[in-house]
Structure 1
Amino acid sequence: MKILERWSSISAERRALIAQVARYGIVGLGITLVQAAIYWILATWAHWHSQIANGAGYGVAVMLGYVLHNRITFRDAKRPTSTAAHATRGVKFVAVSLLSLALNALWVWLCVSWRGWPTWTPIPGMLFITPGIVFVLNRQWVFGER
């Protein structure tokens, strides 16, 4: 009962943010796991260069990310639906995704190339640090209300 009482005492705006963060966590974790799995399989089993494997995973993650975040994570945002607005959102999403790629490339370089650690060691940064930064940018700049 106390949980329900606490939940109902939270403002509607705050509850919406909590729900959005939860959706982002679920969708983003799934997308990130796909990206990380592609990276790890290609780097470890196919013996691709770690940065090329990371780029391949990134390409798949960007496509999945735009569709799923637009339809699920940020579905409640009131924003223009015109073709031009959609194209602008797409360009912004790619820009944020490029930052995500750069951050993940940094984790790969720091862990694998610079430190010589195993190919799995960049994955914690990919799973926890990069998504937090990307959420804020997507919420405020890409999918935010206009």
Structure 2
Amino acid sequence: MMIWLLKTHFLLNENIHLLAGQVVRFGITGGLTTLINAGIYYGGIKWIHLSPLLANFIGYLVAMITGYIMHSRFSFRGHGCQDSHWQLLPRFFLASLLSLAGNSFWVWLLVDVMHQLKWTPLPFMIFVTPLLSFWLNRQWVFHAHSDELTASEL
């Protein structure tokens, strides 16, 4: 019984450690892509005078391309996914479309409906949407798609 508890405790600690590393890598990559998206959004509305939704869409496209490259090579490396880029890319694109929809919702609600300042969606784009994105990428896009993951696949 004691050996089983020690093995379980070690495996849980290893899983938590691996997950924590993945969260940190995702945070770095996601932070960079979020800043890219937010920077293009803000620059587009401030200096180029684009509509907020168009600026958000352009920022999304640049951030999506950057995010796919960085997440597949850095954030979720070693996660157990053996799929080719042709299999990963459509899932990543769909997951990122949900992020775009989330960010567009914040822009629409706060700027168009509530008539707030054009920068008010930024905190939601930076802090709320990335939580959904991490979960989708970890559980669906870069998941090993097997019934049971080992600690090394986290």
TM alignment of 1:1-146, pairs within 5 A: 11-81=13-83, 85-146=84-145
TM-score normalised by structure 1 residue count: 0.88
Aligned residues: 136
Provide the aligned C-alpha RMSD in A. Answer: 1.5
Distance in 1 separating the partners of 2:27 and 2:82: 25
Name the amino acid aligned to 1:18.
Answer: A
Give per-residue Cα distances to partners, 1:85-119, cap 9 Å, x unaligned: 32121000000011000000001011111111111
Name the amino acid aligned to 1:93.
Answer: F
Structure 2 stretches of 5 or more lacking a match?
Answer: 1-9, 146-154
Distance in 2 separating the partners of 1:76 and 1:127: 26
Displacement of 1:19 after TM fit?
0.6
TM-score normalised by structure 2 residue count: 0.84
Identity %: 41
Q: Relative to structure 1, is the Cα distance of residues 10 and 141 closer, same or farther in structure 2, using a 3 angstrom cutoff?
A: closer
Distance in 2 separating the partners of 1:113 and 1:130: 19
Which ranges of 4 or more aligned residues in structure 1 deviate by more than 3 Å? Answer: none
Name the amino acid aligned to 2:23.
Answer: V
1:5 aligns with: none
Displacement of 1:10 after TM fit?
6.0
Distance in 1 separating the partners of 2:32 and 2:118: 20
Distance in 2 separating the partners of 1:17 and 1:144: 13
Structure 1 stretches of 5 or more lacking a match?
Answer: 1-7
Name the amino acid aligned to 1:53.
Answer: A
Give per-residue Cα distances to partners, 1:31-72, cap 9 Å, x unaligned: 100100000110122111110000000000110000000111
